[in-house]
Structure 1
Amino acid sequence: MNSSLELHVAIIGSGPSGFYAAAELLNQTNPIIFVDMFDRLPTPFGLVRGGVAPDHAKIKTVTKVYEKIAAHPRFRFFGNVEFGKELFLKDLERFYGAVIFAVGAKSDRKMGIPGEDLKGSDPATIFVGWYNGHPDYKNYNFDLTAKRVAVIGNGNVAMDVTRILAVDPKKLQSSDIADYALETLKKSKVEEIFLLGRRGPAQAAFTNPEIRELCELEGADLVIEPKETDLDELSKRSLEQGAGGLTAKNNVKILQEQSQKPIKNQPKKIIVKFLVSPVELIGDNGKVTGIKLEKNKLYLEKDGSLRPKGTGEYETLPMDLVFRSVGYKGVPLTDLPFDPRSGTIPNEKGRVMELENKKVIPGHYVVGWAKRGPSGVIGTNKPDSIETVHKLLEDFSKNQLRNPSHSIPSIQINSEEKNKDDSSQSQQEKILDLLKERKIAFVSYEDWKTLDQAEIEQGKKKGKEREKYTTIPDMLSAIKKYKVQSLPKNERF
């Protein structure tokens, strides 16, 4: 590598994978790397802010790590800038030596069964975004006058949705849950929540802490018939061979122990059923009234995995509301290849490549769920992002980036004080000029810190961790208002 060069990298997306990529880039000393991170929302942190359940505040403390990364002098954040609408690939290629896409998996997978589009059938992803105050989902209405709810899926998202529906809303009052969601949950009439999994207890994708939480939930009985926790011979053998690791063994143990406990007749019931697949949602007048399930049996595939297959035996349960939690899925990005089957950006260890001919596209990289699909926990993104960054550095060392001419010395100049006549205008200034030229009201990291403090202060007034602003106009107004308030009185007007 040439030690006299500085590399400029753009990251699209500000979730965990984006921040871990930024950290690895900024840690390099040869070359010196400058990172600009863009996000369509004014707020950073992706699903840590918009996906982690409000009663899981401890998990959200990971943002302290990201705050340290954002404080680096060679890092900049541009929020409220949408790729593909306000900022385009050709723009990034003009100003950066490399672009990393950390865009996650925004959409949800569908079940592909009759009745899925009935009123009262919703993606869990939208419900999660709704109670977390995500601007995209604020205006959704969920009819929680429903008494019987089905949650389809056995991952941690399904567990979160089940827990939020079952928990006493008073337990959420001090959290950062959206105020409108809390008010709706307070009026909830939900009595029974059916947690439905296609596979058996040994294959459940939830983690030990999540299932323990449901076991210990105050105000709701976790009801598991002992037969639901019986393992077939294939599952017993796979556990013995280490499939699923200690997590799977502990899940089975926790479930079996819970199945033996007496029911306490608490106000709500969570009923767990394994080895069932929804085959139809039944409706009346366009609204869900029931769910038809097919009982499954596990079969050994050639790759050694256990797959559920229908037995032809069915049961129908009355149901008022259904949340599907069968996985996230990426969406296509403007001017980028996309694999519709996996819902990811096609890549080779993070290097973006054409879908058909597998040809690597120089200077384009991907991390996180957009790279590998929606799997793992927050920490899984770190090695994933590091792998991609190392490929980027390898390409830089071989002069294989799309625009190596942009790997030039850069001058850090405050954008408001820069000399517009300076012919040696830095790379860092050029993107600022473009955003201003397009009248894009971008949010800097300092602006985000202002909004962050505003939310915390508003939350304190209500005895909450924070009171989230849930629309982009409200966020921008709050930033402006609190910025003015922080100025000395003689400078406010």
Structure 2
Amino acid sequence: MRHIAIIGSGPAGYYTAEAAQKKYGDGVTIDIIDRMPVPFGLIRTGVAPDHQSIKAVSRRYEKTALGDNVHFAGNVNVGNDVSIAELQNLYDAVILATGAPDDRPLEIEGSDLPGVIGSAAFVGWYNGHPDYKDLDLPLDGKSVAIIGNGNVALDVARILAKTEKEFAGSDIVAHALDWLSHSNVETITLLGRRGPHQIAMTPKELGELGQLERAQPVVEAHDFPDESADALLEPGMRKSVTHLRDFLAREAELADKPVKINFDFFAMPVAIEGNGKVEKLVVEKTKLDADMRSVGTGEHYELDCSMVISCIGYRTPPIEGVPYEHGRGRFANDEGRILPGLYCVGWARRGPTGTIGTNKPDGFAIIEAVAEDIAAGANKEGRTGLNRLLASRGVEAVSFADWKKIEEAEIANARDGAPREKFTNVAEMIAVRES
């Protein structure tokens, strides 16, 4: 019997568990360990609450989770409750699928001012992550600057711009919906160092901005190259640029909408200013060099804003005893291999790139690597040893059956039309389990 521990219960974790089930059948036990009492990681607290069709992939993970040889151990903090070295003694393979939940730091002057928020924190706040439920957001400001030109920046802009009615059917948490319903935000500015042809925004997400009830996306004609250049783009990018050009063409039609979402291309934030809080963002205009890299022009301007949300990427948090690449924000690895018996998968392996689906082949590949390295089980204790160790330390792991109780309570607490009202407090989750 082989014993595998997977640290992290998001997409990478469950795709890896599915791969192990298919590879070994009944000849493996798989323990999925997570710091949170609830599973599904990014699907629960990263995917936008108004994208319920994407969240539906959790049903696939649940099928894996309900297998006889898979066990969920939530509310277990690897590094505090149990060490990597201890897990390696208990399991034939330990696979880190922790994702990249931490914000990449915004390293400009003034980034420590109140009102500067990373996208992981902001997204976690409106998605009900317990770590961010008490995030202090300025309510009275009329302008928000979003740094980044990817889909996360689009999600943040869309959430800020929507009316309360437009959140029908979503699982946005109550405290976020209340804040947004009282928000005075009128101008949302998306800043990117390069131009429309270099965005990392997909067509579906861009197209949604043109359908918002009270918000108008605004682009500037002078930011675009000649339209003939669009033909050189790959199809997905061409569709995205077409949406941007459509926003320009519909400017008069959408002009009466009270909230503006401004696309500020060729813009590099260089400083944040304010007296004890965010008041201005200082921006340097950029241009593209011969290698299509952005370079500063020396020309500066200021944007008034009360909040800056940084959407510039994520990183994996280090774990004691695991080699780490600080420059890339991921575990040091060779195609997923870290040390003998220790592996990583998903964003923890390759950094925050790719879609949710990218984690499926990644998970199957890492199980093939495990199979190459570990020909047979080494008579380790696996789950029995983990349960004994946690019990000796007073750590009460949350099972998948416990999670289903939590889920039932969230569904029962949902406001009209919403799929659930998430618990945002770990103690409340635990209390439901014990009721």
TM-score (norm 2): 0.96
Q: What SS does the aligned partner of 2:194 have?
A: coil
Q: Which residue of 2 aligns with 1:264?
A: 255
Which deviations, in whole Å up to 9, do the C-alpha atoms of 1:248-287 show, x marking residues without a partner? 111111111211212331121111111111011121x221
Post-superposition offset of 1:319? 1.6
CA contact (8 A) 1:279 1:293 kept: yes
1:451 and 2:390 are equivalent in the alignment:
no
Q: Which residue of 2 aligns with 1:204?
A: 199
Q: What SS does the aligned partner of 2:340 have?
A: strand
Unmatched 5+ stretches in structure 2? none
Within-5 A mapping of 1:81-230: 81-230=76-225
CA contact (8 A) 1:173 1:182 kept: no
Q: What SS does the aligned partner of 2:295 have?
A: strand
1:366 and 2:352 are equivalent in the alignment:
no
Give the counterpart letter for 2:278 in structure 1. Answer: V
Greater mean alpha carbon deviation, residues 375-384 or residues 58-67: 375-384
CA contact (8 A) 2:125 2:135 kept: yes
Q: Which residue of 2 aligns with 1:16?
A: 11
For the aligned residue pairs, the C-alpha RMSD in angstroms reads 1.7
Q: What SS does the aligned partner of 1:391 have?
A: helix
Give the counterpart letter for 1:71 in structure 2. Answer: L
Q: Which residue of 2 aligns with 1:419?
A: none
C-alpha separation in 2, matches of 1:476 and 1:86:
17
CA contact (8 A) 2:102 2:315 kept: yes
Larger RCO (CA under 8 A, 6+ residues apart): 2
Which deviations, in whole Å up to 9, do the C-alpha atoms of 1:324-379 show, x marking residues without a partner? 10001122111111110000101111101xxxxxxxx1100000111001011111
Q: Which residue of 2 aligns with 1:473?
A: 427
TM-score (norm 1): 0.85
In structure 2, relative to structure 1, the CA distance for the partners of 1:300 and 1:393 (3 Å cut) is farther
Q: Which residue of 2 aligns with 1:321?
A: 307
Within-5 A mapping of 1:227-242: 227-230=222-225, 236=229, 240=232
Greater mean alpha carbon deviation, residues 430-439 or residues 133-142: 430-439
Q: What SS does the aligned partner of 2:24 have?
A: coil
Post-superposition offset of 1:45? 0.4
Q: 2:54 aligns with which of 41, 59, 82?
A: 59
Seq. identity, %: 42
CA contact (8 A) 2:85 2:321 kept: no
How many residues end up aligned between the 2 structures?
433
CA contact (8 A) 2:88 2:342 kept: no
Unmatched 5+ stretches in structure 1? 1-5, 353-360, 408-425, 482-493
1:281 and 2:277 are equivalent in the alignment:
no
In structure 2, relative to structure 1, the CA distance for the partners of 1:479 and 1:199 (3 Å cut) is same
CA contact (8 A) 2:138 2:306 kept: no
Post-superposition offset of 1:229? 2.7
Post-superposition offset of 1:31? 8.2
Post-superposition offset of 1:314? 1.6
Q: Which residue of 2 aligns with 1:434?
A: 389
Q: What SS does the aligned partner of 1:365 have?
A: strand
1:333 and 2:319 are equivalent in the alignment:
yes
In structure 2, relative to structure 1, the CA distance for the partners of 1:35 and 1:223 (3 Å cut) is same
Give the counterpart letter for 1:208 in structure 2. Answer: P
1:46 and 2:1 are equivalent in the alignment:
no
Which deviations, in whole Å up to 9, do the C-alpha atoms of 1:138-161 show, x marking residues without a partner? 111111311011111011111111
Q: 2:359 aligns with which of 375, 378, 381?
A: 381
Q: What SS does the aligned partner of 2:324 have?
A: coil
